[in-house]
Amino acid sequence: MAATEKKQAVYLCEGCGISDAISLDELEQAVTGEMRVPLCRRIDACCGEDGLAQIKKDIDKGEVTQAIIAACSPRVMCEEFDALGAQVIRANLREQVIWSQPAGDENTQMLATDHVRMAVAKAAKTEKPAAHGPGASSMKLLVVGGGVTGLSAAREASKTGADVVLVEKTGELGGWAGKWSKHIPYASPYRGLQENPLPDLIKEVMGDKAITVKTNTTVARTEGGPGEFAVQLQNGKGDEWDVFGAIVVATGWRPYDTAKLEPLGYGSSPHIVTDIEFEDILSAGLSKKTKKKKSLDVVAFVIPGGADRMPYSSGVSDRVAIKQALQVVEAVPGAMVYVIYEDLRAHGTAEEFYREAQEAGVVFQKGEVISISSDLTVTVRDDLLGGEVPMSGIDMVVISTGMVPNSTDIDREPSQSGADQLKDDIDPRVPITFSGKLVNGGNGAEPDKAADDDEPALPGGPILNLQYRQGPHIPILANGFADSHYICFPYETRRTGIYTCGPVRRAMTVGEARQDAQGAVLKAIQAMRAADESLAVHPRSGDLSYPKINHDICTKCRRCTVECPFGAIDEDPDGRPHINFSRCRRCGTCMGACPVRTITFDNYNPQMVADMIGAVEVPDEFAEKPRILVLACENDAYPALDMAGINRRQLSPYLRIIPVRCLGSVTMLWISTALEKGFDGVMLMGCKSGDDYQCHFIKGSGIAEERMSSVGETLKSMMLEEDRVVMEEVSIADSVRAPQVLNEFADKIGAMPPNPFKGF
């Protein structure tokens, strides 16, 4: 819709105490006078039945194409207002004005008027988004991995009506779990050894007409995005191409490196085995003597501690030790079985399994295993007894290992570009380790020297061989697990339409992996349907907007292609950015990266926010009313401030808060516009960093901080103090802390001289 066709109307809500706290007469005069909006109505309750009917009536008569609703936060009543049939712009008069300011105060009135000014300015530069084109068509799902997770994913997808192609690189289905005689219980009452579910599951999959199983097959190449993944499958019979709507990666795990168990004595005796090796013994059938003619009167299961092993266990190997101990007790009457642990994790329903083992006579002994000699003497440091205790007379020692994720294909040769990607495609604010090496210190910490060598971060080549500008791999996090957001998006891979599940995402049991497969399949189906309608997926689910690039202005600097958190932007043969719309999450990071501001969205663009900043009335230096711009992340900081208002926490009246999609979308134009306008301070409020980094768009705070590094020099050149522009980290739970941070900053700005640019 062209800007000249816009018909704006402002609707002032009187409900929730708004009319009691501010003068709506004065606000209405400002709307129709200074702001030049032709239609302004006061409504008892905009979200009420009568209020919605009045707004709908104006829209249906053709009098309104943009409804600017000055009422509650844009985070509430979304369905009610979005159903009106016109573009809706919200001004937050409730949570961030009348609920966080004293009623009847002059500053409260000025704040309310500025909120409406900003909403009107936003509307002027906003177009109603339209789909970028016809949606992609494929609703077929590719599942990579034929273990219990992949089989479960294929079966669950089939139940929804989707066609599935299941790819397994070996000649048989089942994976590691298919080889085991008994399993950890994953159904009520969570006691007793579980029969292996894999034979029945494999039979179900093979008999499902909606599932095509391809063994001895790997993915040679993957192009495109959700709804249109063009995948080259490779096997001994030749290559074939197919098109998929989404991909579920369930490549499972491999055993922990046994070389790291040598200090414990592994390798010094054939009767010191790993839990994986012991599964083979159990599957062959236990008796009083094993195949090695070794009596099994006494068996010790050792669960080592150590930070390096812990991520690969997640309590799974602890429960495996309990399972195997019970199998020995049941198979060998009178056997003495010990479980020696430094830390034993049997959380949730596994507590019942632990109790069952105790009742069966398994002895649990806490202590740190110092050594295991070739004669099977286990030396334990017992903190309770206060010394080292040798345990002799043991017939077999079983050492628990761990589940290392198959986030790469170890049977493929690694490519240097892919290896570099695994190290570089990590947020700079998050400490990341690979196999105990710190490859990224986080927040400026120095990585380990051992991590800077030429060795790849992880062995092997890419699983999907993505033909993306940002590399062929699925991005990984700490210790090689293919995950991207611990809190909000557990199956997310930062490659839209590609979801991981099972032990490739984190160490888990068979029962947990089957549930994980269900979740990943649901997300994959959601992505396929969103792509079919040209809609964004999480976190801006349903957004039709997409980045538009003016190639006449583009300098081909490639910052957008490098900084995109989701690999949505490639480069054409001429070096110009090419956007893959179905991969895009609409975060705006590319917009913030562009030095010439040629990337825009219909409903979010550099000039729109600049005009919102410019619309704020800045009093002169004699009024002693400073103005502070707050650019708040819409996913964490802005909701926290809304909750502060709900709890009636007072905010400085000098703050002017603008929600942004992500701090990664913030362009330095907005900061310079604010300072030139006369704003006395600027605060960027983004997501908290750390090992549970909460950015919905992966690394917005890290990118913003990197860009902010040059702001100090800019402020110096303008003869302004460097601490006028700051950045703060908040989480969505910081409804108490966030107002304190803002108020302290407002006090600090108030103590400074006024911005000398006021009035110019």
**Following DSSP, what letter does each residue of 347-399 receive, concatenated?**
-TTHHHHHHHHHHTTPEEEE-EEEEE-TT-PEEEEETTTTEEEEE---SEEEE
Q: Given this model, what pLDDT does residue 437 score?
A: 47
Q: Given this model, what pLDDT does residue 667 score?
A: 94
pLDDT at 702 over 90: no
Tens-place pLDDT, residues 69-105: 999 999 999 999 999 989 999 999 999 999 999 999 9
Q: CB atoms < 10 A from the CB of 450, how many?
A: 12
| 659-681: average pLDDT | 95
Give whole-number Cα distances, 511 to 89, 191, 308, 503, in Å: 46, 14, 25, 11
What is the C-alpha to C-alpha distance for residues 78 and 615, in angstroms, rounded to an integer? 25
Give the pLDDT band of residue 425 (cuts 50, 70, 90).
low
What is the C-alpha to C-alpha distance for residues 434 and 704, in angstroms, rounded to an integer? 26
pLDDT at 337 over 90: yes
| 516-532: average pLDDT | 95
pLDDT at 543 over 80: yes
Give the pLDDT band of residue 417 (cuts 50, 70, 90).
low
| 298-323: average pLDDT | 87
pLDDT at 433 over 70: no
pLDDT at 711 over 90: no
Tens-place pLDDT, residues 724-757: 999 999 999 999 999 999 999 999 999 999 999 8
**558 Rama class: left (phi>0) / alpha (psi -120 to 50) / beta:** left
Q: SS3 of 242, please? A: strand
Most confident of 46-50, 128-132, 382-386, 417-421: 46-50
Least confident of 107-121, 396-410, 423-437, 594-608: 423-437
Cα atoms in the 13 Å half-sphere on the side-chain side of 215: 12
Q: Given this model, what pLDDT does residue 428 score?
A: 43
Tens-place pLDDT, residues 583-641: 999 999 999 999 999 999 999 999 999 999 999 999 988 888 999 999 999 999 999 99
Q: Given this model, what pLDDT does residue 445 score?
A: 46
pLDDT at 291 over 60: no
What is the C-alpha to C-alpha distance for residues 46 and 39, in angstroms, rounded to an integer? 15
Tens-place pLDDT, residues 103-144: 999 999 999 999 999 999 999 999 999 888 776 679 999 999
For the chain, the first-to-last Cα distance in angstroms comes to 35
Least confident of 141-145, 319-323, 486-490: 486-490
Domain 141-254+405-412+458-532: which CATH class?
Answer: alpha beta
Query: CATH number of 257-401: 3.50.50.60, 3.30.300.180, 3.30.365.10, 3.40.50.10190?
Result: 3.50.50.60
pLDDT at 418 over 80: no
Provide, rounded to the nearest whole percent, the portion of the chain with pLDDT above 70. Answer: 91
Least confident of 506-510, 550-554, 703-707: 703-707
Fold equal for 1-128 and 257-401: no
Which residues lie closer than 8 Å to 715 by C-beta, 6 or more apart? 675, 721, 722, 724, 725
pLDDT at 559 over 70: yes
Give whole-number Cα distances, 5 to 66, 124, 509, in Å: 10, 11, 59
Size (the chain), residues: 760
Tens-place pLDDT, residues 227-237: 999 999 999 88
pLDDT at 31 over 80: yes
Q: Which one is predicted more confidently, 52 or 132?
A: 52
Note the CATH number of domain 604-760: 3.40.50
The sheet carrying 211-214 orders its strands as: 211-214, 164-167, 141-144, 246-249, 498-500
Domain boundaries, the chain: 1-128, 141-254+405-412+458-532, 257-401, 604-760
Provide, rounded to the nearest whole percent, the portion of the chain with pLDDT above 90. Answer: 72
pLDDT at 27 over 80: yes
Q: Given this model, what pLDDT does residue 420 score?
A: 57
Least confident of 257-266, 369-378, 559-568, 620-629: 257-266
DSSP 12: E
Q: Given this model, what pLDDT does residue 414 score?
A: 79
Give the pLDDT band of residue 542 (cuts 50, 70, 90).
very high
Tens-place pLDDT, residues 342-380: 889 888 888 999 999 999 999 999 999 999 999 999 999
| 185-199: average pLDDT | 91
Sequence letter at residue 734: D
- By the 10 Å C-beta count (0-12 exposed, 13-18 middle, 19+ buried), 98 is classed as buried
| 712-735: average pLDDT | 89
What is the C-alpha to C-alpha distance for residues 665 and 585, in angstroms, rounded to an integer? 12
What is the C-alpha to C-alpha distance for residues 183 and 304, in angstroms, rounded to an integer? 22
Give the pLDDT band of residue 454 (cuts 50, 70, 90).
very low
Q: Given this model, what pLDDT does residue 427 score?
A: 44
**Please, what is the Cα angle at 134 between 129 and 139, to 5 degrees?**
120
Q: Given this model, what pLDDT does residue 311 score?
A: 78
- Name the average pLDDT for the chain: 90
- CATH 3.40.50 correct for 1-128: yes
Q: Given this model, what pLDDT does residue 430 score?
A: 46
Q: Given this model, what pLDDT does residue 187 score?
A: 85
Q: Given this model, what pLDDT does residue 621 score?
A: 86
Q: Which one is predicted more confidently, 426 or 306?
A: 306
Sequence letter at residue 145: G
